[in-house]
Chain A
Amino acid sequence: MHSDIKTTSGHRGLQQEEGLIFELAQPGVSGVDLPAPKGGPSRLGGLERSAPIGLPGLTEPETVRHYVRISQKNYSIDTGFYPLGSCTMKHNPRLNEKMARLPGFADVHPLQPAQTVQGALALIDTCAHWLKQLSGMAAVAMSPRAGAHGELCGLMAIRAAHDAKGEARKYVLVPDSAHGTNPATAAACGYEVKTIPSKANGRVDLQALLGSLDDDCAALMLTNPNTCGLFERNVLDIAEAVHGVGAYFYCDGANFNALVGKVRPGDLGVDAMHINLHKTFSTPHGGGGPGSGPVVLSEALAPFAPLPFVVQGTSGFDVTENEVDSPQAFGRLGAFHGQMGMFVRAVAYMMSHGADGLKQVAEDAVLSANYIKASLEDVMSVSYEGPCMHEVLFDDRFLQGSGVSTLDFAKALIDEGYHPMTVYFPLVVHGAMLIEPTETESKQSLDSFIKVMRALALAVKEEGAAARFAAAPQLTPRRRLDETQAARQPILRWRPQAEPAQAAE
Chain B
Amino acid sequence: MNDYMYTDQHEWVCVEGGVAIMGISIYAAEQLGDIVYVELPDIGASVSQGDEIAVVESVKAASEIYAPVSGVVIEINEALGEAPDTVNEDPRGEGWLLKLKMNKPADLEKLMDEAAYDSFIEDLG
Contacts and interface: CB of A to CB of B under 8 A. Distances in A.
B60 A488 contact: no
Interface string A442-485: 00000000000000000000000000000000000000000110
B61 A488 contact: no
B59 A427 contact: no
Interface residues of A, number: 8
Nearest to B63: A427
B61 A484 contact: no
Contacts of A425: 61
Nearest to B83: A488
A424 B57 CA distance: 14
A488 B89 CA distance: 15
A102 interface: no
Contacts of B4: none
A483 B59 contact: yes
A484 B37 CA distance: 10
Contact of B84 (A180, A427, A488): A488
A427 B33 CA distance: 14
B34 A484 contact: yes
A487 B36 contact: yes
Contacts of B36: 484, 487-488
B11 interface: no
Given A488-B84, A488-B85, A424 B61 contact: yes
A120 B57 CA distance: 45
B30 to A, nearest CB: 12
Contacts of A424: 60-61
A320 B35 CA distance: 49
B67 to A, nearest CB: 15
A427 B61 contact: yes
Contacts of B60: 424
A484 B87 CA distance: 14
Given A484-B85, A488-B37, A488-B84, 4 more contacts: A424-B60, A424-B61, A487-B59, A488-B36
9 contacts: A425-B61, A483-B34, A483-B59, A484-B34, A487-B36, A487-B37, A487-B57, A488-B36, A488-B84
